[in-house]
């Protein structure tokens, strides 16, 4: 029987997205379920397996018709060993050979990659990076991750762990990161960091942000802050300005090292739109060297929340 299907899985800290596609990468069916990371490693893996089996069952497909299952996991991922190692957003995952576990449970070929690498691959093939030989994809959401495209190919590094841009240290006296260090870009400028800044400031000043959440400070997130900023709220704009400045410093370091022509930004914070991208472009050019700074443009990713799962499909083709 011909192996005419592939499956892509994007494992996130809050949700698992899985999709079935044909041998050309055309999407057939997609399912999203909660990750339930707080329940531990085994529960998360069982959720992944159950979701994959549900995809197959819904379409009446047999496992022996599946060419491969692509899985994007939060980094660091040791691609050559199939290991997910201490991901900050999946507590209790010390050193998990996810590839081997899934292959044993599903009896199917599994290709494991860093989730941001797969999103970069998707943007390179069918997204904002089509036709661009050298660019960096950066996702700014709950955490911050990245994928690097050099001469049209995904750059994985010595053991597949390249692209961990969220762990550039931008402030040695800053917030503690999930990786254990102080002042990582992820700890200072992610969606979670933005929320922490907002909560701190809202205890001192009034803002439209509170109106949007009916006074419930626990409901404040990046989306709410963006809505308030677009409505002209001064505090919301101040918070975004603070995040932009930190992101720009981290991005400028990447620009100086890799000299890309594009930085493609995905994740929840990309939805802030021009309030993020206009000042971010200016500040990246300010902090980068003139030569590298004038060569780069920071733009919004095209594939949005689907980039990870599309990349997981693409890596199987």
> Which pLDDT tens digit goes with each residue over 50-81?
999 999 988 889 888 999 999 999 878 999 89
Give me the architecture of the 5-120+306-314 domain, per CATH.
2-Layer Sandwich (3.30)
Pair of tokens at residue 313: 């499909």
Domain ranges of the chain: 5-120+306-314, 131-300
State the residue for tokens 């079935």.
20
Q: What is the pLDDT of residues 262-279, one digit of tens each?
A: 999 999 999 999 999 999
pLDDT class of 33 with cuts at 50, 70, 90? very high
DSSP 133: S
Looking at residue 13, what is its pLDDT? 85
CATH class of 131-300: alpha beta
Residue 63: what pLDDT? 85
The rounded percent of the chain whose pLDDT value lies above 90 is 87
Instruction: Write down the pLDDT at residue 161.
Output: 84
- Taking only the tens place, the pLDDT of each residue in 197-218 is 999 999 999 999 999 999 999 9
What pLDDT is recorded for position 58?
85
| Token pair recorded at residue 143 | 């955490």
Q: How confident is the model at residue 220 (pLDDT cuts 50, 70, 90)?
A: very high
Average pLDDT of the residues of the chain: 95
What is the rounded average pLDDT of the residues 74-92? Answer: 88
* pLDDT confidence of residue 89: 78
Q: What is the mean pLDDT of residues 95-113?
A: 97
pLDDT reading at 2 higher than 80: no
Domain 5-120+306-314 and domain 131-300, same fold? Reply is yes
pLDDT of residue 92: 86
Please report the pLDDT score of residue 142 as a whole number.
84
Strands 135-140 and 262-266, sheet pairing:
parallel
At residue 1, the pLDDT reads 55
The angle, 0 to 180 degrees and rounded to 10, between the axes of the packed helices 41-58 and 98-106 is 40
95-96 sheet: strands from edge to edge? 77-78, 83-85, 95-96
* Residue of higher predicted confidence among 88 and 143: 143
Q: What is the rounded distance in angstroms from the CA atom of residue 44 to the CA atom of residue 10? A: 12
Return the pLDDT at 69: 98
Tens of pLDDT along 123-180?
999 999 999 999 999 999 888 999 999 999 999 998 888 999 999 999 999 999 988 9
């Amino acid at each position: 029987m011909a192996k005419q299907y592939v499956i892509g899985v994007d494992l996130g800290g809050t949700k698992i997205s899985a999709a079935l596609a044909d041998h050309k990468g055309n999407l057939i069916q997609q399912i999203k379920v909660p990750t339930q990371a707080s329940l531990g490693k085994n529960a998360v893996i069982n959720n992944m397996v159950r979701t994959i089996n549900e995809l197959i069952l819904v379409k009446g497909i047999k496992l022996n018709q599946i060419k491969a299952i692509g899985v994007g996991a939060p980094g660091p991922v040791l691609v050559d060993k199939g290991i997910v190692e201490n991901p900050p957003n999946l507590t209790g995952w010390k050193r998990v050979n996810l590839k081997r576990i899934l292959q044993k449970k599903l009896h199917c070929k599994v290709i494991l990659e860093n989730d941001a690498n797969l999103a970069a691959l998707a943007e390179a093939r069918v997204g904002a990076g089509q036709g661009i030989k050298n660019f960096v994809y950066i996702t700014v959401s709950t955490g911050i991750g990245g994928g690097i495209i050099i001469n049209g190919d995904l750059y994985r590094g010595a053991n597949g762990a390249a692209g961990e841009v969220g762990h550039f240290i931008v402030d040695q006296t800053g917030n503690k990161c999930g990786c254990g260090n102080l002042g990582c870009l992820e700890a200072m400028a992610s969606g979670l960091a933005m929320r922490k800044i907002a909560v701190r400031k809202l205890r001192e000043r009034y803002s439209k942000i509170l109106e949007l959440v009916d006074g419930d400070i626990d409901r404040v997130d990046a989306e709410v802050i963006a809505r308030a900023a677009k409505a002209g709220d001064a505090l919301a704009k101040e918070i975004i300005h603070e995040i932009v400045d930190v992101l720009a410093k981290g991005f400028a370091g990447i620009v100086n090292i890799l000299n890309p022509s594009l930085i493609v930004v995905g994740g929840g914070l990309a939805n802030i739109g021009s309030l993020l991208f206009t000042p971010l472009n200016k500040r990246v050019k300010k902090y980068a060297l003139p030569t590298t700074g004038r060569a780069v443009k920071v733009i919004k990713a095209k594939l949005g929340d689907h980039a990870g799962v599309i990349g997981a499909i693409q890596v199987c083709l």
